[in-house]
Amino acid sequence: MTTDRGETYGPFTVNDATTIYRFDTQFTAKRLRFELLGSSSGNTGALEIEVYGKPVNSRWVDLFRSPTY
């Protein structure tokens, strides 16, 4: 995983698509890029990716609460 600041995290090993995996990291970013390093072939798309955290400043809190976002 690479942030918009160029910081990289991983690699993270995912053995199959039927299990939920959790990888704890700590970073600040507006965008994330996920890259596949290897595959056993077939469908390599992610079923679901969730990112949790706290906004760095109140501007982002207001942006995400805005009904027009």
Q: What is the pLDDT of residues 2-28, one digit of tens each?
A: 999 999 999 888 887 788 888 988 888
Q: Is the Cβ–Cβ distance between 27 and 3 less than 8 Å?
A: yes
- Distance, in Å, from the CA atom of 27 to the CA atom of 3, rounded to the nearest integer, reads 8
Q: Please, which pLDDT band fits residue 69 given cuts at 50, 70 and 90?
A: very low
| Per-residue confidence (pLDDT) for residue 8, from 0 to 100 | 93
| Closest CA relative to residue 32, chosen from 15, 16, 46, 18 | 46
| pTM strictly above 0.85 | no
